Amino acid sequence: MPRESAPHRQSAFLIEAMLLLAFLVASLAVFTTLMATSVNQSKKAASLTHAIAMSQNAAEQFAVSPEGCTKTWQESDLTVFVQVEKGESSPGGTMWHAHIHVDDEYGEVWTLDTSRFVAQGGEAA
């Protein structure tokens, strides 16, 4: 069996190394995209879950006291805004509406609308 010459072996090694490098670079590009998408989606999920919890807290505060609830506050990178609107007054009492939105540095993450009826005597449900 004839032995391969040194230059032949060297060029074969170089071709293999280059092919390997090209494969590695292509694979890393795919993995980076995969990981970046995963991280992005994970952050989005965490942010949405946090925003939902914050909006529910705001909604419950509004339910206790439509007029006196906190209108804005911040938690980590999220800010809650509560817009309270006095709705139509009727013989039985007043309906209050709240539009709650939670924003992060890029914009709105989550919104929630709720209402509360306060009877004439001031008693809410």
Instruction: List residues binding other proteins (CB under 8 A).
Output: 1, 13, 16-17, 20, 23-24, 27, 30-31, 34-35, 37-42, 44-46, 48-49, 52, 55-56, 59, 90-93, 95, 110, 112-117, 119-120, 125
- The Cα 94–Cα 2 span in angstroms is 99
How near is the Cβ of 3 to other proteins at its closest, in Å?
11
Find the shortest distance in angstroms from Cβ 72 to other proteins. 19
Going by C-beta distance under 8 Å and a sequence separation of 6 or more, which residues neighbour residue 117? 92, 93, 94, 95, 96, 124, 125
Toward other proteins, which CB reaches closer, 74 or 90? 90
d(CA 107, CA 102): 9
CB of 14 to other proteins, least distance (A): 12
Residues in CB range of 27: below 8 A, 6 or more apart: none
